[in-house]
Amino acid sequence: DADVTQTPRNRITKTGKRIMLECSQTKGHDRMYWYRQDPGLGLQLIYYSFDVKDINKGEISDGYSVSRQAQAKFSLSLESAIPNQTALYFCATKVRVTNTEAFFGQGTRLTVV
């Protein structure tokens, strides 16, 4: 099983619908992140969390919310999806030590029609 698991892997939803993307990890890391990848733009930070009670906005948080249900689970919600939120979404985890790598899930491709 993957260390960082994202569900669903692919999703098509309609404009205005609420949708939740889920992320769970078995690595025991305290830090979790949600990134969005758009063609030609690289990955941008949406939200991050250092523990269950510590959640912070990233560069592009408008239109998104998150929930850290447990150390191992970090969900991203789109309250009312719009077409320009069509993108590839990644969850990532890392330990507190700065120079260690981030571990990524396999991504969720979200299409808003």
Partner 1 sequence: AQTVTQSQPEMSVQEAETVTLSCTYDTSENNYYLFWYKQPPSRQMILVIRQEAYKQQNATENRFSVNFQKAAKSFSLKISDSQLGDTAMYFCAFTFRTGANNLFFGTGTRLTVIP
* Residues in touch with partner 1 (CB under 8 A): 31, 33, 35, 40-45, 48, 56, 58, 88, 90, 92, 94, 96, 98-99, 101-102, 104, 106-107, 109
Q: Which is nearer to partner 1, 42 or 84 (CB)?
A: 42
Nearer to partner 1 among residue 15 and residue 106 (C-beta): 106
Residue 44 near residue 64, CB atoms below 8 Å = no
Q: Looking at beta carbons only, is 80 or 106 nearer to partner 1?
A: 106
Closest distance to partner 1 from the beta carbon of 104 (Å): 4
The C-alpha atoms of residue 10 and residue 14 are separated, in whole angstroms, by 14
Q: How far apart are CA 70 and CA 23, in angstroms?
A: 11
Distances (CA, A) of 51 to 7, 69, 88: 21, 10, 24
